[in-house]
Amino acid sequence: MNPLDVSVDTPLQKLWALRRLSEQPFDRQEREILQQLHRQGGEVVQRFIQRFGFNRITLAVHRWHERFRKSLSPEAPQETVLCAFTSVVDRLVDQDELKALVRWAASELDLTPGALLEGAGQRAESGTNSRNGDLTAEVFDLIDLIAAVIYFFESPPGLKPIVRDRTLRDQLDVFLASRPPGRVRRVLGGAAAVAADVLAELEVRDVALFTLYHSATQAMDHRQNVRRMVLGDAEAGLTFEAAQTPGVYRVAGETCEHPTSLSTVFSYDAGFALDPFRAFLTDRVIFRHAPRGPEPPPWREIEVHPAEGVPLGWTLPRACDEWPWLPGFVRWWVEGERLHLAFAGEGWLRRVADRYRYVILSGIGPGTFDVSDTADPLQRLIAAEVAAQLRVLAGAGATLHLEVSGSIGRQQRIAPLAEALGGVVRSLGLNDAELIQMTDMADFEVPPGTEGSEMYRRYGRALALAERLSLERLYVHGNDADLILRRDGSPGAMRDEVAADLFAKGVVVLSVLQRSGPAWQERARRLSPVLLWHGFEALISLASDLAAGRHPDLGGAYQRQLEVTLDAGYALAPQAGGYAVAVVPVMWPSLPYSVHPGGAGDICSSVSLVYAGI
Amino acid sequence: MGRTGADVTLDRERIVRLLKRLPRQDAAGQMRTASALAWIGIQARRPDSAVRGRLSSAARGRVDAAHFMATLKALPALPMPARCEVAMFLGDLAGGVAVTDLVRLMASPDAGARLIAVDALGKIGGLRAVAAIEAAVGDVNETVRAEAVRALGQLAASEFSRDSDAPGMRAMEDLFLDVSAGDPSEYVRQVADEALAAIREASARQPQAPTERVPASVLSVSA
């Protein structure tokens, strides 16, 4: 009987069913791993085989398989978690629609598709948009849009450019509306919204979402048991509503619906072509849009209120139905013809910290704080207010975790982020591509001495970032293995991290499958095996290089260190105050192209944080 | 040369050459040779299952037993990594001739070595191997116990898928039920439940009409 033919009501039952589906006979997977490691494994793996033999890999595969299976039945932590600040509705576009978009855009521009692609290709090669800005950050017309896709075909990973032009935004809407049913799907997105939804489904004790806007479109995609925290006026304090209830505001005695945050996601498979351009990797490009409300909006001016002090006026370069978005705990109201956005003060934040042990943050990054070169007082105000809010939350006892996402430019600097986060944000999550971006920032220097395998260099960057940001925990998720650094991590803490991460990866697979639409069970039946050779390559590489780095004589201490890392998945810090590291091979099936993995990293990061504990 | 069940060419001459060379080498050379043998064994595995024997009968060796003798004699003196590497090779290519030495490896204080030995015995099968694996069901190490249960489950499924009336079905069911009820590890209990389900499914799948017994899909290559 197929595991999915039985009742699978709870997330844990679903996980077990998925595991059974994706678990081919152990012998088959073991053989595949051994053969691929011998044939394709890097230099470190070949040296490992020469020295320790295939039997040592066989042992590691047995032990990790056992650990993986044991990780699937944890009890839901009795924790309180608030996820803030991002929520969005993702419009997922099938890859074949990219070809339709090119034809449609060419017709709109009175060009042939070939001429359009040629022009877009030139723009992609220059890396600049039609306004001589960064093509990977902003797009203004249809050629920019297609140029950005081509750019990320050839220079992955795909980032998240913002659609800055009203005409382009409307053209995109018209195109998407013209597509046959099923070609464009709508799912909940945004790190905070997705993390809150998944944690609530796992029955973590108290999970809430805070986001600036919460339209009916966003609300309808939430599960039943997620709550949304609302910052009322100073006397009312914190109030909560079901996340399925749309947010409303009042203006001139009337009740109005919140604006909607949307994004458009073009996913494609490796090798997919818009001739002559071909995607190098399976990936996606996300085009972000400003939140949109009714037209005309019920306000003409914007005023931003710091927690204390004089408000600032804000003139948005925007289309007339677009609303501003601010990071941080911000409440807002419309009065007269003015939209007021007010950063929450200490009283609110202390209440948040009293109620929630974990606050998982998203929507803030290096760009939020790197304002020394700008004369814009509003940007300075935002940076100062967000930093102050984080300090209050941390000072009042909340454990802050920041999930990094979005574009990180080489011209940005790490120093302002380090200053804002240092001693405040205890945990940070990002993917391996974002780790490279962050450690390539203008003022970041990765210390020498981390040559070796790709995995060891990744570890070196992670270590440098954790130290630079004074983090207690850094979580780097990848497609081959995850790295988790814990300052002074004890063996127990590191074992918990490994178990939580194995579980989190399973939750990711389940979650993105469920979000892929009603046919998710059919897709689940076609899952690949769980034990993947490149995960073990990453594990062996890091374990070997780490042991050799600490014990260059390759003697007994080297071997003991290597064996512990290989079998248990962690290495303790070499000295007090240093970072222990866990390395967890990815042991879940890779996802088929048709399953949009958006939010996978955010889910993994938040689930592992709450289940491992810090 | 011959073809294995995995459709990989088996270079008999090379195997024989390596087996002869191994006892005469220094430690580093022995490890290299042992790994070369292990790799041949890995390549020779069938894609779906590495199990070659059954509960009641050991797999036939893919190289004549005589060629293993010198290596088996040298086995106890090899450094442990090379010994485990050779054990893997024996599991993939040897027959009943290797069982005694693999059982000896199961007495190792190193749980990893015991696991490799159980794994190899589980591929060869036969009454002596099964008795040793049954003993490993009571090992102090959880991973070794789980591997022992898994190996028995595979051998039993191999047996009962061909002949549901073969003796031992009831004994295997009882063993797995005992483990499922009494092992201190939830993981081992789960493996026992799966083994039980697998042999029942294998038995149920067995064709109604009696069929001629098919020999294990191994290719014996004479020297």
- Please write down the HEC assignment for all residues of B141-162: CHHHHHHHHHHHHHHHHHHHCC
Say what the pLDDT of residue B216 is.
35
Nearest CB to B85: which of A54, A66, A70? A54
Say what the pLDDT of residue A575 is.
93
User: Which residues make Cβ contacts (< 8 Å) with residue B53, sequence separation at least 6?
Assistant: B59, B123, B124, B125, B126, B129, B155, B158, B216
Query: Phi and psi (nearest 5°) for B190?
Result: -65, -45
Whether residue A52 and residue B81 make contact (CB cut-off 8 A), yes or no, is yes
Instruction: Kindly tell me if the per-residue pLDDT of B223 is higher than 50.
Output: no
Contacts with B7 from chain A: Cβ below 8 Å: none
Which residue bears the tokens 């391996």? A432
Whether residue A34 and residue B150 make contact (CB cut-off 8 A), yes or no, is no
Say what the pLDDT of residue A580 is.
98
Least confident of A356-365, A452-461, A494-503, A596-605: A596-605
Question: pLDDT class for B170, splitting at 50, 70, 90?
Answer: confident
Question: pLDDT class for A257, splitting at 50, 70, 90?
Answer: very high
| pLDDT tens readout for residues A39-87 | 999 999 999 999 999 999 999 999 998 888 888 777 888 999 999 999 9
Say what the pLDDT of residue A592 is.
60
Distance between CA A534 and CA A549 in Å, rounded? 22
- Strands A399-403, A425-431: pairing is parallel
Instruction: Tell me the average pLDDT of chain B.
Output: 86
Say what the pLDDT of residue A186 is.
87
Instruction: Tell me the average pLDDT of chain A.
Output: 89
- Where does A358-479 show beta strands of DSSP type E? 358-361, 399-403, 425-431, 473-477
Interface test with B, best of A20, A28, A55, A57 (most B CBs within 10 A): A55
Say what the pLDDT of residue B159 is.
85
Question: What is the mean pLDDT of the segment spanning A315-320?
Answer: 67
Q: Which residue has the higher pLDDT, B47 or A272?
A: A272
Say what the pLDDT of residue A157 is.
77
| pLDDT tens readout for residues A13-36 | 777 777 666 667 788 889 999 999
Chain A residue closest in CA terms to B45 = A31
The proportion of chain B whose per-residue pLDDT surpasses 90, expressed as a percent, equals 62
Query: Cα distance from A27 to chain B (closest Cα, Å)?
Result: 5
Nearest CB to A62: which of B34, B47, B143? B143
Q: Which domains are assigned to chain A?
A: 3-76+484-612 (no CATH), 80-89+187-251+344-468 (3.40.1190.20)
Contacts with A30 from chain B: Cβ below 8 Å: 50
Whether residue A38 and residue B48 make contact (CB cut-off 8 A), yes or no, is no
Contacts with B112 from chain A: Cβ below 8 Å: 55-56, 59
Query: Phi and psi (nearest 5°) for A134?
Result: -80, 115
SS3 B133: helix
Whether residue B143 and residue A53 make contact (CB cut-off 8 A), yes or no, is no
Q: Distance of CA A498 to CAs A67, A457, A564, Å?
A: 9, 21, 13
Alpha helices by DSSP H, B3-110 = 12-21, 27-44, 69-74, 80-93, 99-105
Chain B residue closest in CA terms to A72 = B187
Say what the pLDDT of residue B1 is.
41
| pLDDT tens readout for residues A343-374 | 999 999 999 999 999 999 999 999 899 988 88
Question: What is the mean pLDDT of the segment spanning B154-163?
Answer: 85
3-state helix, strand, coil in chain B (%, to 5): 65, 5, 30
CB contacts < 8 A, A to B, total 73
Question: What is the mean pLDDT of the segment spanning B147-165?
Answer: 87
Nearest CB to A25: which of B49, B85, B147? B49
Whether residue B147 and residue A62 make contact (CB cut-off 8 A), yes or no, is yes
Distance between CA A69 and CA A67 in Å, rounded? 5
User: Which residues make Cβ contacts (< 8 Å) with residue A125, sequence separation at least 6?
Assistant: none
Distance between CA A288 and CA A291 in Å, rounded? 9
Say what the pLDDT of residue A270 is.
87
Question: What is the mean pLDDT of the segment spanning A440-445?
Answer: 88
Question: Are B180 and B192 a contacting pair, CB within 8 Å?
Answer: yes
Query: Cα distance from A508 to chain B (closest Cα, Å)?
Result: 23
Instruction: Kindly tell me if the per-residue pLDDT of B207 is higher than 60.
Output: no
Question: Are A141 and A130 a contacting pair, CB within 8 Å?
Answer: yes
Ranges of each domain in chain B: 11-136, 140-206
Q: Distance of CA B199 to CAs A73, B134, B154, B190, Å?
A: 26, 16, 8, 14
In order, the DSSP letters of A207-227 are: EEEEES---HHHHTTS-TT-E
Query: Which of A25, A264, A7 has the alpha carbon at shortest distance from A145?
Result: A264
Distance between CA A460 and CA A532 in Å, rounded? 24
Question: pLDDT class for A252, splitting at 50, 70, 90?
Answer: confident
Question: What is the mean pLDDT of the segment spanning A177-203?
Answer: 89
User: B55 - beta bridge partners?
Assistant: none
Structure tokens belonging to residue B128: 């002596």
Question: What is the mean pLDDT of the segment spanning A444-460?
Answer: 85
Question: pLDDT class for A185, splitting at 50, 70, 90?
Answer: confident
Question: What is the mean pLDDT of the segment spanning A152-173?
Answer: 89
Question: pLDDT class for B220, splitting at 50, 70, 90?
Answer: very low
Angle, CA A171 vertex, CA A315 and CA A133 arms, to 5°: 55
Query: Cα distance from A25 to chain B (closest Cα, Å)?
Result: 7
Instruction: Kindly tell me if the per-residue pLDDT of A104 is higher than 60.
Output: yes
Whether residue B84 and residue A70 make contact (CB cut-off 8 A), yes or no, is no
Query: Which of A576, A574, A558 has the alpha carbon at shortest distance from A566?
Result: A558
Distance between CA A576 and CA B181 in Å, rounded? 45
List residues in chain A touching B: CB distance below 8 A.
Answer: 25-28, 30-31, 34-35, 38, 49-56, 58-59, 62-63, 66, 69-70
Say what the pLDDT of residue A594 is.
59
Whether residue B81 and residue A55 make contact (CB cut-off 8 A), yes or no, is yes
Structure tokens belonging to residue A610: 């709450």
CB neighbourhood size of A574 (10 A): 12
Q: Convert B82-112 to b/e letters by CB count within 10 Å (16 or more is b).
A: bbbbbbbbbbbbbbbbbbebbbebbebeebb
Chain B residue closest in CA terms to A51 = B31
Say what the pLDDT of residue A76 is.
82
Query: Phi and psi (nearest 5°) for A236?
Result: -70, -30
Say what the pLDDT of residue A519 is.
72
Say what the pLDDT of residue B218 is.
32
Q: Which residue has the higher pLDDT, A105 or A600?
A: A105
| pLDDT tens readout for residues A400-414 | 999 987 667 777 899
Whether residue A49 and residue B35 make contact (CB cut-off 8 A), yes or no, is yes
Whether residue B38 and residue A53 make contact (CB cut-off 8 A), yes or no, is yes
Question: pLDDT class for B163, splitting at 50, 70, 90?
Answer: confident
Residue type, A392: V
The proportion of chain A whose per-residue pLDDT surpasses 70, expressed as a percent, equals 93
Interface test with B, best of A15, A27, A67, A75 (most B CBs within 10 A): A27
A517: left (phi over 0), alpha (psi -120 to 50) or beta: left
| pLDDT tens readout for residues B71-87 | 899 899 999 999 999 99
CA dihedral B146, B150, B155, B156 (to 10 degrees): 100
Whether residue B187 and residue A69 make contact (CB cut-off 8 A), yes or no, is yes
Distance between CA B199 and CA B159 in Å, rounded? 9
Structure tokens belonging to residue A225: 């048991």
| pLDDT tens readout for residues B12-70 | 889 999 999 998 999 999 999 999 999 999 999 988 889 999 998 999 998 888 888 88
Instruction: Kindly tell me if the per-residue pLDDT of A583 is higher than 80.
Output: yes
Element of type H or E holding A239: strand A238-242
Question: Are A522 and A514 a contacting pair, CB within 8 Å?
Answer: no
Distance between CA A420 and CA A368 in Å, rounded? 10
Contacts with A554 from chain B: Cβ below 8 Å: none
Side-chain half-sphere exposure of A10, counting CA atoms within 13 A: 10
Least confident of A225-239, A420-434, A482-496: A225-239
Range ranked top by mean pLDDT from A218-222, A230-234, A293-297, B133-137 = B133-137
Say what the pLDDT of residue A4 is.
56
Say what the pLDDT of residue A284 is.
85
SS3 A153: helix
Contacts with A63 from chain B: Cβ below 8 Å: 143
Whether residue B116 and residue A55 make contact (CB cut-off 8 A), yes or no, is yes
Question: pLDDT class for B219, splitting at 50, 70, 90?
Answer: very low
Least confident of A213-222, A408-417, A445-454: A445-454
Instruction: Kindly tell me if the per-residue pLDDT of B132 is higher than 80.
Output: yes
Chain B residue closest in CA terms to A32 = B47
- Strands A481-487, A579-585: pairing is antiparallel
Distance between CA B152 and CA B129 in Å, rounded? 10
CB neighbourhood size of A337 (10 A): 12
Question: What is the mean pLDDT of the segment spanning B93-105?
Answer: 95
Nearest CB to A66: which of B88, B154, B187? B187
List residues in chain B touching A: CB distance below 8 A.
Answer: 31-32, 34-35, 38-39, 42-43, 45, 47-51, 81-82, 84-85, 87-88, 112, 115-116, 119, 142-143, 146-147, 150, 154, 186-187, 190
Question: pLDDT class for A448, splitting at 50, 70, 90?
Answer: confident
Alpha helices by DSSP H, A404-453 = 415-421, 432-439
